[in-house]
Structure 1
Amino acid sequence: MSEIKDMNFMGMRKIAAALSIVLILTSIGSLIFQGLKLGLDFTGGTLIEVAYETSANVNDIRKTLEVNGYEDVTVQHFGSEEDVLVRMKEAYRANLGDEVLLVLQNASEEDVVLRRAEFVGSQVGEELRDEGGLALLLALAVVMIYVAARFQFKFSVGAVVALMHDVIIILGFFSLMQIEFDLTVLAALLAVIGYSLNDTIVVADRIRENFRIIRQMQPIDVINRSLTQTLGRTLVTSLTTLLVLLALLWVGGELIHNFALALTIGVVVGTYSSIYVSANILLYMDISREDLLPPEETEEELDDRP
């Protein structure tokens, strides 16, 4: 059986680098000038839960509230098709829940019951935002230490740059599209870091192994061979994960829609970055076989052997 021919992944590394730079600059620009559309978890506001007798149409409820002057309203099913959770940035008032209930009752032919009306403070949202950002930075720092200890410093730089690349592009997408950024999306970002890191480590492990066993080959060719050998595993993992995420996007409901969307983007971008970002960084840092060979023992260490 003939050996599979190595694919020239790195032949497109300059185009990939230019694409990544454009995406990152666009994302950063959008984050600076437009910002994220922060959800109620971060900005503070009012939570109202109501119950219908039969299945409720969240789109009709949202339109009804907007027509009656309530702005920045998010409506989603909560637990069942009959239970509805309304999130609004309007400041909490003692009778706000009753006002919303009256509007919904007038627009519906069935009885609507108010389950609860609560206030989410902006101070709590600020703490969540700060702690979430700290969690992301801590995750990147731990990744860099782990990869440097397991592989080599150049690999850790490539891994962290790839992860930062993924996170910035996801944030940029949510900023450009003005899709609500809440705690579920923050959780998805942390999950993307884990997914992308796993893919990057698999590729890095094969690159290290090939550098050690292949002597007469240029670094770019070693990396191309390593990427070719791991391509099947990468595609199978990514496609099966995407099938689950697409199912969540279509039938998972509004409650986890943004979570599934962030993960879907993360899987696509993470697969791309494992090939064209982390490996590209290794070439720019002049990775070589000597970087991955264990250090030679000194004469003193040889003399100290029993």
Structure 2
Amino acid sequence: MIEIFRDVKVNWLGRRKLYLAISGSIMLLGLVSLVVKHGFRYGVDFRGGTIVTVRFQQKPEIEKIRQLLRENGAPDSQPQELAGRNDVLIEFQGAKEEDASAGRSTIINALNKGFQGQFDVLSATSIGPKVGDDLKRQAVLATLYALGGMLIYIAFRFDSWIYGAAAVFAVFHDTLVTLGLFSIFNREINLTVIAALLTLVGYSVNDTIVVFDRIRENLKLRRRDSLETVMNDSINQTLSRTILTSGLTFLTVVALFLFGGEIINHFAFAMVIGIIIGTYSSIAIAAPLVLVYTNIHGRAV
């Protein structure tokens, strides 16, 4: 395996209180943001509404479209240019249960005020509030099922529930921090973001398992060393692998974030934040939790 760092001697666990304080502070800021903003900013997928894709004969002015929508009954609509042709995607939120498709007529009527005969509707999808609530519930359940499955798998693989609990807590930490940053930066949460979170759950726990596996191997070989020493050395030994895999993935998602367009921008933002936080938690959250637990139960540091 290619090694970027050789003979690393970083005392990661010696700074565990600092890492836990940093994580706690970020989650607290996210919680304060949620309280101030009265919850997350949900997309059409969860709030209900209409998504309309329109193709114009000539490249339109997005600001003019936004003004027409604002002045003609759709102030919360979000027009987004699509890469390639003169296509614009418009999200109209806040559908009513009795007529979820009313947003289509509102959008078309608004566009006719400034682009009469200059556009065609390519597609229109409407989601009612009840469907949005069901999708929201299913998204939460999917995340919880994923965490529960990983807890069982890791506990079985390492013959100790504390490893599974620490890994799941670290992944849960990653999810909370990412969602908190979504609230702080007023980012929209939609189904693509949930897909990103589920992707990150698997990615983060994979990193954590690599570290835990090295810790388990070293504990068998170095029974006289303290647990903290073995853990520090194990993290340092896997550091090159962590930086290589996370770094390459990070470059990919950064390119996706910068050049992927508006449609997947929230997805890419979740991936960028998640890769950073997931790598951090594998080193600074999961292993310290195992150490703290074993110290409380009387084992040597």
- 1:65 maps to 2:69: yes
- 1:155 maps to 2:163: yes
Larger radius of gyration: 1
Q: What TM-score, normalized to structure 1? A: 0.86
Gap regions ≥5 residues in structure 1? 292-306
Q: Give the equivalent residue in structure 1 for 2:266.
A: 258
Letter in 2 for 1:119: S
Q: Give the equivalent residue in structure 1 for 2:175.
A: 167
How far apart are residue 64 of structure 1 and its match? 4.4
Q: Give the equivalent residue in structure 1 for 2:138.
A: 131
How far apart are residue 68 of structure 1 and its match? 4.9
Asked whether the equivalents of residues 71 and 89 of structure 1 are also in contact (C-alpha less than 8 Å), the reply is no
Q: Secondary structure at the match of 2:75?
A: coil
How far apart are residue 54 of structure 1 and its match? 3.8
Q: Matches of 1:260 and 1:169 in 2, distance apart?
A: 16
- 1:25 maps to 2:28: yes
Q: Secondary structure at the match of 2:88?
A: strand
Q: Secondary structure at the match of 2:223?
A: coil
How far apart are residue 154 of structure 1 and its match? 1.3
Q: Secondary structure at the match of 1:267?
A: helix
Q: Give the equivalent residue in structure 1 for 2:18.
A: 15
Q: Give the equivalent residue in structure 2 for 1:74.
A: 78
Letter in 2 for 1:105: F
Asked whether the equivalents of residues 49 and 83 of structure 1 are also in contact (C-alpha less than 8 Å), the reply is yes
> Structure 1 residue aligned with 2:49, among 45, 49, 55?
45
Asked whether the equivalents of residues 97 and 114 of structure 1 are also in contact (C-alpha less than 8 Å), the reply is no
Show the 5 A alignment for 1:208-287. Answer: 208-286=216-294
Asked whether the equivalents of residues 101 and 114 of structure 1 are also in contact (C-alpha less than 8 Å), the reply is no
Question: Number of paired residues?
Answer: 285
Q: Give the equivalent residue in structure 2 for 1:176.
A: 184
Asked whether the equivalents of residues 101 and 113 of structure 1 are also in contact (C-alpha less than 8 Å), the reply is no
| Segment of structure 1 superposing worse, 213-222 or 75-84 | 75-84
Asked whether the equivalents of residues 72 and 110 of structure 2 are also in contact (C-alpha less than 8 Å), the reply is no
Asked whether the equivalents of residues 50 and 113 of structure 1 are also in contact (C-alpha less than 8 Å), the reply is yes
Q: Matches of 2:81 and 2:163 in 1, distance apart?
A: 44
- 1:146 maps to 2:146: no
Q: Secondary structure at the match of 1:4?
A: coil
CA offsets, 1:17-69, max 9 Å, x none? 11111122222333345310000001111222211124445455335433555
Q: Secondary structure at the match of 1:220?
A: helix
Shift of the 85–104 alpha-carbon distance from structure 1 to 2, 3 Å rule, reads: farther
Shift of the 241–57 alpha-carbon distance from structure 1 to 2, 3 Å rule, reads: farther
Q: Give the equivalent residue in structure 1 for 2:7.
A: 4
Letter in 1 for 2:293: M
Q: What TM-score, normalized to structure 2? A: 0.87
Q: Give the equivalent residue in structure 1 for 2:115.
A: 105
Asked whether the equivalents of residues 82 and 262 of structure 2 are also in contact (C-alpha less than 8 Å), the reply is no
Shift of the 171–148 alpha-carbon distance from structure 1 to 2, 3 Å rule, reads: same
Q: Matches of 1:59 and 1:182 in 2, distance apart?
A: 24
How far apart are residue 232 of structure 1 and its match? 0.5
| Segment of structure 1 superposing worse, 59-68 or 217-226 | 59-68
Shift of the 225–178 alpha-carbon distance from structure 1 to 2, 3 Å rule, reads: same
Q: Give the equivalent residue in structure 2 for 1:190.
A: 198
Letter in 1 for 2:31: I
Q: Matches of 2:221 and 2:18 in 1, distance apart?
A: 30
Q: Matches of 1:191 and 1:24 in 2, distance apart?
A: 21
Q: Secondary structure at the match of 1:8?
A: coil
Q: Matches of 1:250 and 1:64 in 2, distance apart?
A: 28
Q: Matches of 2:273 and 2:177 in 1, distance apart?
A: 9
How far apart are residue 101 of structure 1 and its match? 2.7
Q: Give the equivalent residue in structure 1 for 2:127.
A: 120
Q: Give the equivalent residue in structure 2 for 1:296.
A: none
Report sequence identity in percent: 38
Q: Matches of 2:142 and 2:106 in 1, distance apart?
A: 35
- 1:206 maps to 2:210: no
Q: Matches of 1:271 and 1:59 in 2, distance apart?
A: 39
Q: CA RMSD in A?
A: 2.4
Q: Give the equivalent residue in structure 2 for 1:302.
A: none
